[in-house]
A and B are shown apart, each in its own frame.
Chain A
Amino acid sequence: MSWITHFANLFRQRRLHDELEEELASHIDEAVERGRSAAEARRAFGGALRYREQSRDLKLLPWLDALASDVVFGWRQLNKRRAASAAAILSLALAIGATTAVFRLVDAVLLRTLPVAEPERLSFLTTRLIDREGRPDYRDDFDYPTFRKYRDLVADRADLMVVGIAARQDAMFPSSDEPEKIKRQFVSGNVFGVFGLQPALGRLLTPHDDATPGAHPVAVLTYEFWTRRFSRDPNVVGKNFRIGNDRFEIVGVAPKGFIGTEPGELTDVFVPAMMNAQAINSPGWSWFRIWMRPKPGWTPEQVRQPLQAEFLRDHEERVKSFDADTPRQVIDRYMSQILALMPAAEGASDLQKQYRRPLLILGVLVALVLLVASVNVGNLQTAQAAARAREMALRVSIGAGRWRLIQLVLVESALLAALASALGALFASWTAPFIISMLRMPEDPVRIVLNAGWREVAFGVALALFVTLLFGLAPALRASAVSPVNALKGGEDPHSRRPLMNGLLAAQMAFCVLVQFVAGLFVTTFQRLSTRPLGFSHEHVLAMGVSARTEHPVGTWMQAAEELRQTPGVEAVYLAIWPLLCGDGWTSNVRAPGHPIEARSPYFLGVSAGFIETMRIALLDGRDFRPGDTGPRLSGPGKPVPGVGIVNEAFARTYFDGQNPVGKRVDVSQEKDALAPMEIVGYVHDAAYRDLRERIRPTVYVPLGARSSSTFLVRTAGNPMALAPVLRRRFSETRSDFRVRTIQPQSNFVRWHLLRERLLAALSSFFAIVALVLAAVGLYGVLNYSVTQRLREIGIRMALGASSAQVVRRVTAGLMGMVGLGLLIGLAGGVACGRFVEGLLFDVKSTDPGAVVAPLLTLLGAALLAAVPPAIRAVQVDPAQTLRSE
């Protein structure tokens, strides 16, 4: 009989039992029929019970029976030392929960394969480049003309697809008057075909829907959006909605599970790329990703090569439009860019790019915390096993096999792990959404489908198994190796060392200090970055992005600003082309007398009069702009028109050796080799422009020109967001040709730059605290145990006149040596791995003495604190009592 039948028998016990009972009864009947008395026949069976037991034993796999009793026994053991078990389970649950939460995130963002045909053959195009800081980076945004060129170039080798970048849009559905925010993704007509998707309803987009710019107002909903917005209304096909001026007809619903191509976003509607009519022929309108799947028989590299050649030709062409005196370095950096393919099986999103490394680092940290917790439980189990040496010895003496003892201890560990896993899963289901909410601003949250089904379950089971073996195996082997003679005689060899426990202690310290170290780096980074001087005030400022149907002169914009200023609660309203720190930037070359072009050209920002004042940027000299000021530009026939500008300190340092530049003139590039003169009329304090991490760069503020979109910067008396609805309404009443795109407090743009750092600092310091507490508890446990083990020895020493100091040294020296060793190894590891986190740091290095010393001191402090109670206990040993008790 195979083990499967054995196993099945376990569940058929009841029936089996009944069958035996019936067979027995039929036997007795038979005997009675043949003339024997019922009582005698029954007696002939002897102990019917024994018979039943013997018979059934054959049907049950003995070890399953034994297992059940082990579980009961293990549970009793755990129950007996309730406090220790609860602590072990809680700490393990915390670690398992955190690990599971991070795994869920890593899985959802980085690992989950798109539910499309042959995902492993998909890739997307990227431009590999060296960024301004000299670090490798890539871009994955392309414009439509480039896509068209590439597609035609490799038409026989691969399917090239436009997979637009999901963007939030205001959509109007006929059923309501309020615009709703939806995520729209432009796709080329071949995407659904290449992905091999079947519609859940209606039809999907085809190449016929993507032929003529602006002529295919059709849309496909995602299953998720269909469910959320339309409650799976089967009549949704044929309905309309409006985005801007385009009215789209819903033609179908994408299959369940296909939520777009960007992990971190849930796309709501797919529309043909051709509906982005203005982008079709706009070079530089780079809001598309280009995906590729080679045709059968072609390798990705064979597709890349012709594209790379074209890419290079294009770059050579563009370099020609650079100014003649462009520094060599800039040209080299530009020409070193290459076109590369990246695998797209897991999708492609900004979230992946931004969080790939942070998530991996968090994963490593959380794994270290799990190891620290496991070591704790392992040591606890080891101590227990040693304390139970006599019990084990007894078991061996009466014939228990080695495997039986291993099983006994492992079952107990598994029980611990199972309980901790269950608790941990609860903890994870609460933490994962919390972490996700920290990934992005609350207005535009990351949306992830978290429940990965079997993957998560598999991960949980694997983790529990791993943890069980990790902390259970060593104590189990140890327990099974017990020598009955020694143990029953009254204790093991007093000189026996505990290399395993010591090694684990050192490892635990190493893991812990590594977590402290990395957390310290991230916390310092967050602290430095969030307290770095911005040079402007973001409090009480509202940034309102507005676009108009047509271009308006600056006067009209200023008039609108003046109207907004009438709103109660508004102190001042001025304009800029975009808010500071919104992530946009504009650079241009500047030539100062006797000064060559800089490799890094200065930033420019178009602002209205009053902007400097509104943003509280300190004016050092000169004046703010006045109405009527204009920036340097070219007139219609390319004739330079002089203008004015305001520059910052960094500009003065770079171009005028730090002298007051007011009244000086520079030339500003307009087109290739065409300059316009600019007079510097104001000199202001440095202010951050594009990126918080960047050293403040030379910046030129120029007067705002005629524009079709601008940002109003509203300084308010109170909470700026409280005014947002009022301002929005006022605007739509008075200015019907203007549309408010976004309203956000300026402080959001600052917070936005700190998101990743905040997440890393918060989570890593949480992990660090958990690891620290666990390690301290662990050290305490081991020391305490070692004192218990050596009570007799301590008693003898004290009886022979050893001083308290000697006893304490004796008890702690070895273990403290281990602690020290662990600390050193951990820190060395930290410094060695510093390179991996370097890109995420700001103003702090892994080799900074402070970064190394702080975790060292923290852990030493914790270690000393943990060592005090056992040391006191050792000193208080009463020799007479101890020796008598033996």
Chain B
Amino acid sequence: MAKLDKLQGSLDLLVLKVLSRRAPLHGYAIMTAIEQISDEVLRVEEGSLYPALHRLEEAGVIRAQWITRENGKRARVYGLTARGRRQLASEEARWTEITGAVQRVLKLA
């Protein structure tokens, strides 16, 4: 299983993407979502996820709020902001462009 830190910048992108579809989610849910969708190919480290979440929050791309869950415990859930949506769109485009370019190089070189 690949560690996401190895692919620079990809963690932010995946977090934003997941949040754009299923928000609001808490940290654990984001983590498991990425792992499940990628068929456990991509593994998110807790030690990277939370700093990333807080960094994105500082940047105003996502927003957090405390909710009380059914079991009475509090959880911190995250959702996208308008700026987050814009950033996701541009990051996605960039990602596609780069991976396409890498593909081409792999094929044609």
Residues of A that sit less than 8 Å from B by CB: 1, 19-20, 22-24, 26-27, 29-31, 34, 44-47, 50-51, 54-55, 58-59
Contacts and interface: CB of A to CB of B under 8 A. Distances in A.
A51 B46 contact: yes
Interface string B14-55: 000000000000111100100000000000011100110011
B49 to A, nearest CB: 9
8 contacts: A23-B76, A27-B46, A45-B47, A46-B45, A47-B47, A51-B46, A51-B50, A58-B51
B6 to A, nearest CB: 16
Interface of B: 26-29, 32, 45-47, 50-51, 54-55, 58, 60, 73-76
B28 A31 contact: yes
Contacts of A46: 45-47
Contact of B74 (A1, A26, A47, A51): A26
A45 B58 contact: no
Given A1-B58, A22-B74, A26-B75, A44 B46 contact: yes
The 3 lowest CB-CB distance pairs between A and B, nearest first, are A30-B28, A46-B47, A54-B51
Contact of A59 (B46, B58, B74, B75): B58
Given A23-B75, A58-B58, 18 more contacts: A1-B58, A26-B73, A26-B75, A27-B28, A27-B46, A27-B50, A29-B73, A34-B32, A46-B47, A51-B46, A51-B47, A51-B51, A54-B47, A58-B51, A58-B54, A58-B55, A59-B54, A59-B58
A30 B28 CA distance: 7
Contacts of B54: 55, 58-59
A51 B74 CA distance: 20
B74 to A, nearest CB: 7
A24 B51 CA distance: 12
Contacts of B45: 44, 46
Contacts of A44: 45-46
Q: Is the interface of B mostly helix, strand, loop or mixed?
A: helix
A59 B47 CA distance: 17
A686 B79 CA distance: 100
A842 to B, nearest CB: 71
A18 to B, nearest CB: 12
Given A1-B60, A34-B32, A58-B58, A26 B51 contact: no
Given A1-B58, A59-B58, A50 B76 contact: no
A50 B47 contact: yes
Contacts of A45: 46-47
Contacts of A1: 58, 60
A58 B74 CA distance: 23
A696 B101 CA distance: 106
A27 B27 contact: yes
Contacts of B55: 58
A833 to B, nearest CB: 58
Contacts of B32: 34
Contacts of B58: 1, 58-59
Contacts of A30: 26, 28-29, 75
Contacts of B74: 22, 26
Nearest to A42: B46
Contacts of B75: 23, 26, 30
A26 B50 contact: no
B75 to A, nearest CB: 5
A24 B47 CA distance: 11
Nearest to A41: B46
A24 B27 CA distance: 9
Contacts of A20: 50
Contacts of A26: 26, 28, 73-76
A23 B50 contact: yes
A27 B29 CA distance: 9
A13 B76 CA distance: 18
A19 B75 CA distance: 10
Nearest to A57: B51
| Most chain B CB within a 10 A radius of its CB, from A1, A46, A54 | A54
B102 to A, nearest CB: 30
Nearest to B64: A23
A26 B51 CA distance: 16
Contacts of A50: 47
Nearest to B59: A1
Contacts of B50: 20, 23-24, 27, 51, 55
A188 B26 CA distance: 78
A59 B74 CA distance: 22
A266 B47 CA distance: 70
A19 B65 CA distance: 11
Contacts of B29: 30
A55 B46 CA distance: 12
Contacts of B73: 26, 29
Contacts of B76: 19, 22-23, 26
A1 B58 CA distance: 6
For B46, B73, B75, the residue with the greatest tally of chain A CB atoms inside 10 Å of its CB is B46
Nearest to A47: B47
Contacts of A51: 46-47, 50-51
B47 A23 contact: no
Contacts of A55: 50-51, 54
Contacts of A24: 50
A30 B26 CA distance: 10
A292 B54 CA distance: 66
Contacts of A22: 74, 76
A382 to B, nearest CB: 41
A258 B68 CA distance: 60
Contacts of A27: 26-28, 46, 50
Which has the most chain B C-beta neighbours within 10 Å: A30, A45, A50? A30
A736 to B, nearest CB: 90
A22 B74 CA distance: 8
A204 B50 CA distance: 70
B34 to A, nearest CB: 14
A23 B27 contact: yes
Q: Considering residues B28, B74, B75, which has the most beta carbons from chain A within 10 angstroms of its beta carbon? A: B28
B47 to A, nearest CB: 4
Nearest to A25: B73
A364 B79 CA distance: 63
A47 B48 CA distance: 11
Nearest to B31: A27
A72 B45 CA distance: 36
B79 to A, nearest CB: 15
Contacts of B27: 23, 27
A23 B28 CA distance: 10
A20 B75 CA distance: 11
A27 B30 CA distance: 11
Contacts of B46: 27, 44-46, 51
B38 to A, nearest CB: 17
Contacts of A59: 54, 58
A44 B55 CA distance: 20
A59 B60 CA distance: 13
A724 B60 CA distance: 83
A52 to B, nearest CB: 9
A50 B58 CA distance: 19
A24 B73 CA distance: 13
A854 to B, nearest CB: 67
A26 B53 CA distance: 15
B46 to A, nearest CB: 5
Quick one: which of A24, A31, A55 has the most chain B CB within 10 A?
Answer: A55
A294 B44 CA distance: 79
A46 B55 CA distance: 19
A499 B65 CA distance: 60
A46 B50 CA distance: 12
The winner among A19, A27, A59 for most chain B CB atoms within 10 A is A27
B77 to A, nearest CB: 10
Nearest to B75: A26
A58 B55 CA distance: 7
Contacts of A58: 51, 54-55, 58
Contacts of A23: 27, 50, 75-76
